[in-house]
Amino acid sequence: MKILKLLNKNYLSIFIIQFILLNSFVAAQEEAVDIWKLEKKLEENKSETILQDNDISTNSIIQIQTKQNNEFEIIKGSKLDSNNIILAGLYDPAENGLKIDMWFNSDGNEIASIFNRINKIKLSNDAKEILDIALLTNSYFPRKNIIEEEFLNYKTNYLIQYGNLELIKLYLLKNQNNLNNSKLMRYYIDEHLSNSDLKNACSIFNEINLLNDDYLTKFNIYCLINENRTEEAQLQFDLMKELDFKDEFFETKFNFIMGYTADDEKQISEKNILDFHLSHRTNSQFQYKPNKNTEKIIWRYLSSSNLLENIDEIDLEDVDKLSLIEQATHEGNYSEQELLNLYKRFQFSIDQLLNVKDSYKLLPTIQGRALLYQRLILTKDPVQILDLSSKLKNLFASENIENAFKKELSKMLSKISIEDVPSNYSTFYTKNLINQNPKKTSIKINNKIIHQSKLLNYFKESYNIKQVEKDTNDLIKKIKKNKDYFVSRKDLMLLESLQSDGVEISKKYQNLFQFNQSDIPTDIQLLINNNEIGLVLLRFVEIIGEDELINLGSDILYFMVNVLNQLNIDPLRNNILLKVLPLKV
């Protein structure tokens, strides 16, 4: 009788699940449904059913899992997933003075057009900072000529392009309901594995349950084995097999690592970084020689795992191998010092070293670089160092491998004082000198110039608006006495921003300033009028491009600040003002 009641409860639970799914599916025809809540209900009911009968076998569990996965796929394929994600991002809009509807009115075709142009630019840090805010602020999705998945892909591609793994992890943790996170998750774990950091690659599976992808499931199974959670690994593997999973290579490696087969596996797969890692782990005699077609991620794995060929054993007559080493150094797989040590192995005559400026041109390019480097390390004269290093850098740049001589070049240049640099080498010197420990600058206040005055402090922290108003008018009063004072664009940027925040400038001083809003490009003004804040920020990114803000002309900065004042985006505006207005020491 007790068993009969238990069975009745099970049947009742199954009936309730089916009833909920049926009604939810019908309701989807009229309004969007949160698919993740449905999935959660399925998981809760699955757990409840399993707990009610301790005699359910592993096969029964697999059948339940399979059935529910099939039901979930039916739901996922319907219109239920079309509008289920409301927000996606990292930052609260209020943090940067933005709005949750910043993309709502934007046209997907315009977004795509601007991104196509931006993707062709090597963005400066300031441009990337604004792009980061534009894409990673929580917001509603645009509605016209774009679907949610496309818009999410812009965020995903941005995160992957700039490769900040901590930022990616934070995004994944805060946006676990996004259906297309598998691409970002895969990038995250692959990058860690390529750097021989299996611990961090695996740890994310303990925080995020995103196994809607065969590759991620395989990776998770391997992580479970690596953490000695073999029973869980076996169960996951069995579930995949029940779902008609087929991957002969992975299955072979799985059986070996689990101890079901005894012999080392010799097969090497480059299909993905997980397969390559498993090839390495399961072969005690593993050897692999990369070539020009080897994927960059495989190169990184070889480098981080100390599997690359010893630089001292490379044949100097093998031009293809030498070229491959240079390319690998450019991509960071060999260190610059290793490549330069390789250059030291070449033999040159005294005459070639003494007449290096002509001699290197007569040699094959690799030997020419080696000759220039050997002569470079023999000289102490600053002008000769600048001349030889610039020639060597140009040779690298001509073959698009300039990063192979970047850090070491900077070290050489850092030993030269700026006073010893001739004017014809000043650009080369400043461009290639990497400041490893940049000094923190402080703002120097100069109350004789409006945009360098103490009024700047208002943009750093909150002040009583009436006090700022008094300080502003008092300063203008003093400035007015200097009849030679010229009111610059930067002065106007500061004063207009104060006015935008509610500071009233006395009418008797109005004739000193010519406030002008006509410099805003027409297309941007239209975006402002339509409340398309996201697209405005994208246009800013495009305009800044490769430049840092401090290097932009006053006219461009003026209209940008003008735009931000119109949109009341004060935090971003303040950040820009504090970068471009003060004299820093």
Percentage of the chain beyond pLDDT 90 is 65
Is the pLDDT at 561 greater than 60? The verdict is yes
Confidence of residue 67 (pLDDT cuts 50, 70, 90): very low
Cross-strand pairs, 584: 443
Indicate the range of 189-198, 369-378, 482-491 predicted with least confidence.
482-491
pLDDT band, very low/low/confident/very high, at 436 (cuts 50, 70, 90): low
Confidence band (pLDDT; 50, 70, 90) for 514?
low
If pLDDT is split at 50, 70 and 90, which confidence band does 4 have?
Answer: very low
Q: pLDDT tens, 531-551? A: 999 999 999 999 999 999 999
Q: Write down the residue that tokens 């509008």 correspond to.
A: 83
Torsion angle of the four alpha carbons 472, 475, 481, 485, in this order, in degrees rounded to the nearest 10: -90
What's the pLDDT score for residue 464? 87
Q: So what's the pLDDT on residue 493?
A: 92
Reported confidence tier of residue 507, pLDDT bands at 50, 70, 90: confident
- For the ranges 10-14, 15-19, 235-239, the maximum mean pLDDT occurs at 235-239
Report how far residue 61's alpha carbon sits from residue 67's, in angstroms, rounded to the nearest whole number.
Answer: 10
At residue 66, does pLDDT exceed 70?
A: no
Q: In this structure, what token pair is assigned to residue 219?
A: 């990776």
Look-up of token digits 């090497």: 268
Instruction: List 137's β-bridge partners, or say none.
Output: 91
Q: Which helix (H) or strand (E) holds 110?
A: helix 108-118
Contact 184/160 with Cβ under 8 angstroms? yes
29 vs 106: which has the higher pLDDT:
106
User: With 50 as the cut, is the pLDDT of residue 25 above it?
Assistant: no
| Interval 397-406 mean pLDDT | 94
102: left (phi over 0), alpha (psi -120 to 50) or beta: alpha
Scan for tokens 């196509």, then name that residue. Answer: 116
Q: Which of 64-68, 204-208, 274-278, 465-469 has the highest mean pLDDT?
A: 274-278
**pLDDT value for 285:** 87
Query: What pLDDT band is residue 88 in, cutting at 50, 70 and 90?
Result: confident
Q: What is the 3-state secondary structure (H, E, C) of 377-410?
A: CCCCCHHHHHHHHHHHHHHHHHCCCHHHHCHHHH
Torsion over CA of 18, 22, 23 and 27, rounded to 10 degrees? 150
Report whether pLDDT(78) > 50. Answer: no
Residue 517: pLDDT band by 50, 70, 90 thresholds?
Answer: low
Q: Which pLDDT tens digit goes with each residue over 234-275?
A: 999 999 999 888 899 999 999 999 999 887 678 899 999 999
Structure confidence at residue 284 (pLDDT) = 86
CA gap 322, 426 in Å, rounded: 32
Token digits for 475?
A: 């300063």
pLDDT of residue 115: 95
How large is the average pLDDT for residues 290-314?
A: 92
DSSP state of 124: -
CA 114 – CA 129 distance, rounded (Å): 17
Question: CB–CB of 114/538 below 8 Å?
Answer: yes
5: number of CA atoms within 13 Å, CB side? 2
Q: Which of 360, 284, 346 is nearest to 314 (CA)?
A: 346
Judge whether residue 152 has pLDDT over 80.
yes
- Other C-beta atoms closer than 10 Å to the C-beta of 498 total 21
* Tokens coding 434: 């990497």
Helix (H), strand (E), coil (C) string for 419-434? HHCCHHHHHHHHHHCC
Instruction: Please count the residues of the chain.
Output: 585
